[in-house]
Amino acid sequence: MSQFAANLSWLYPHLPFLDRFEAAARDGFTAVEYLAPYGWEAGELAARLRTNGLRQVLFNAPAAGLTPPEMAAAWQSGARGTAALPGQEAAFRAGVQEALRYAAVLDCPRIHVMSGMVPVGADVAAMQTTLIDNLRWACMQAAAQGCQLLIEPINARDMPGYFLQRQAQAHAVLDAVDSPHLKVLMDLYHCQVAEGDVASKLRQYLPTGRVAHIQIAGVPERQEPDIGELHYPYLFDVLDALGYAGWIGCEYRPAGDTSSGLGWRPRDSTPRP
């Protein structure tokens, strides 16, 4: 059975961010992920991980901007990455370097790199070329640190206009970049909303060895995995049958109290020593 990572950007919303580490550990999580560490000193976050016996398994490269206030403002104004944006190469590189600096201190092996929004009237072919060139450069930097970079298809209902929306599109980017340091983050919530046929897609893509991280949420409300149209007990069996040994990020908006809503976790997923 795969292990579950608490996504601290989404879970325990009633707590200040730094207190969510302890809450996750108390609920039996041994790993965490979140969108952005940049508002805190890396050393402070590393201490929270250490104190609570947690490991960091994923976070995002900055969506845009260089300083934490710039990053927050860019996110508020709708920026969702720069990897596919022609003319933003310098910002993309600076963001990757900052993410790698955090990854080194947090001992985090995976960074999600967002591709960006398609501007009105954009040349999509030029965006694809920019994405591939940028990721090739970024993979060389990540390789030097033993890190993997991930790209995540995101559905158009939640993020209208996002460049990368479908699993096949992400795998085509991997074909083009051709680096063992680039993998796919397969978020089953987005996959169901955008494409459906989730179990078949797991069976298609997991054997390629290119899916390095999975995220889950109920569909369509993006709440606990036991609320909605996706039957996760079946999908967990599919993941087991496929030998998936990676992390599964719990990236959902709790319907009520986070801890009380964890009853969906399979009993044999409780932490290994």
Ligand X SMILES: O=C(O)[C@@H](O)C(=O)CO
Indicate which of Mg ion, ligand X, none lies near residue 112 (CB less than 5 to 8 Å, by partner kind).
Answer: ligand X
- Measured CA to CA in angstroms, residue 242 lies from 37, 171, 182 at distances of 32, 18, 21
187 touching Mg ion, by CB under 5 A: yes
Which residues, 118 to 177, sit near ligand X by CB under 6 A?
Answer: 152, 154
Task: Write down the least CB distance from residue 125 to Mg ion, Å.
Answer: 26
84 touching ligand X, by CB under 6 A: no
Task: Write down the least CB distance from residue 123 to Mg ion, Å.
Answer: 27
3-state secondary structure string across the chain = CCEEEEECCCCCCCCCHHHHHHHHHHCCCCEEEECCCCCCCHHHHHHHHHHCCCEEEEEECCCCCCCHHHHHHHHHCCCCECCCCCCCHHHHHHHHHHHHHHHHHHCCCEEECCECECCCCCCHHHHHHHHHHHHHHHHHHHHHCCCEEEECCCCCCCCCCECCCCHHHHHHHHHHHCCCCEEEEEEHHHHHHHCCCHHHHHHHHHHHCCEEEEEECCCCCCCCCCCCCCCHHHHHHHHHHCCCCCEEEECCCCCCCCCHHHHHCCHHHCCCC
Q: Is the Cβ of residue 17 or residue 22 nearer to ligand X in the bound state?
A: 17
Q: Can you tell me which of 30, 56, 60, 258 binds ligand X, judged by CB under 6 A?
A: 60
251 is catalytic: yes
Task: Write down the least CB distance from residue 112 to Mg ion, Å.
Answer: 8
215 touching ligand X, by CB under 6 A: yes
The residue annotated as part of the active site, out of 33, 98, 224, 251, is 251
Q: Can you tell me which of 110, 112, 201, 265 binds ligand X, judged by CB under 6 A?
A: 112
221 is catalytic: no
Task: Write down the least CB distance from residue 87 to Mg ion, Å.
Answer: 27
Which residues, 235 to 254, sit near Mg ion by CB under 5 A?
Answer: 251
187 touching ligand X, by CB under 6 A: yes
Task: Write down the least CB distance from residue 189 to ligand X, Å.
Answer: 7
Residues at the contact surface with ligand X, assessed by CB under 6 A: 35, 60, 112, 152, 154, 187, 190, 215, 251
Catalytic residues: 152, 251
Residues at the contact surface with Mg ion, assessed by CB under 5 A: 187, 215, 251
